[in-house]
Amino acid sequence: MTTAIDSATQATIDHWLNGNYDSDTKAAIRTLLDNGESTELIDSFYKNLEFGTGGLRGVIGVGSNRMNRYTVGAATQGLANYLNAAFPDQAIKVAIAHDSRRMSPEFARIVADIFSANGMEVYLFSSLRPTPELSFAIRQLGCQSGIVVTASHNPPEYNGYKAYWNDGGQVVAPHDKNIITEVNKITSIDDVKFEGVPERIHLIDEEIDSVYVERIKSNSINPEVIARQKDLNIVYTPIHGTGITLVPRVLEALGFTNVNIVEEQAKPDGDFPTVKSPNPEERDAMRLALEKAEAINADLIMATDPDADRVGSGARNHHGEFELLNGNQMASLIIYYLLQAWKDNGKLTGKEFVAKTIVTTDLIDKMCAEYGVFCYNTLTGFKYIAQIIRELEGQQQFIGGGEESYGYLIGDFVRDKDAIASCAMIAELTAYAKDKGLSLFDLLMEMYQKFGFYYEGLISLTKKGKSGAEEIQQMMADFRANPPKQIAGSPVLRVDDYASLERTDLTTGEKTAIEAGKMGIESSNVLQFFTADGTKVSARPSGTEPKIKFYVGVNEPLARKEDFDAVYEQLKQKVQTVMTDLNLK
Q: How far is CA 391 from the centre of its chain?
A: 21
SS3 string, 6-51, reads CHHHHHHHHHHHHCCCCHHHHHHHHHHHHCCCHHHHHHHHCCCCCC
Tell me 2's DSSP state.
P
Question: In terms of C-beta density within 10 A (0-12 exposed, 13-18 middle, 19 or more buried), how is residue 259 classed?
Answer: buried
> DSSP character for 534?
S
User: How far apart are the C-alpha atoms of 132 and 409, rounded to whole Å?
Assistant: 10
DSSP state of 497: E
| Burial group, residue 49, by CB count within 10 angstroms (0-12, 13-18, 19+) | buried
Among all residues, which ones are annotated catalytic? 152
Quote the CA–CA distance of 58 and 45 in Å, as a whole number. Answer: 13
Let me know: does 526 contact 498? Beta carbons within 8 Å.
Answer: yes
Q: Are strands 300-304 and 234-237 parallel, antiparallel or unpaired?
A: parallel
Bridging pattern class, strands 145-149 and 93-98: parallel
Torsion of CA 477, 482, 486, 487, to 10 degrees: -20
Which helix (H) or strand (E) covers residue 505, if one does?
Answer: strand 502-505
Three-state DSSP class for 91?
coil
How many Å is the maximal CA-CA distance in the chain? 73
Query: Phi first, then psi: what are they for 318, rounded to 5°?
Result: -75, -5
* Sign of the CA dihedral with 429 first, then 431, 435, and 441 last: positive
Among residues 422, 360, 421, the alpha carbon closest in space to that of 385 is found at 360
In this structure, are residues 265 and 274 in contact, taking their beta carbons and an 8 Å threshold? yes
Query: DSSP for 417-450?
Result: --HHHHHHHHHHHHHHHHHTT--HHHHHHHHHHH
CA angle 304, 319, 330 (to 5 degrees): 30
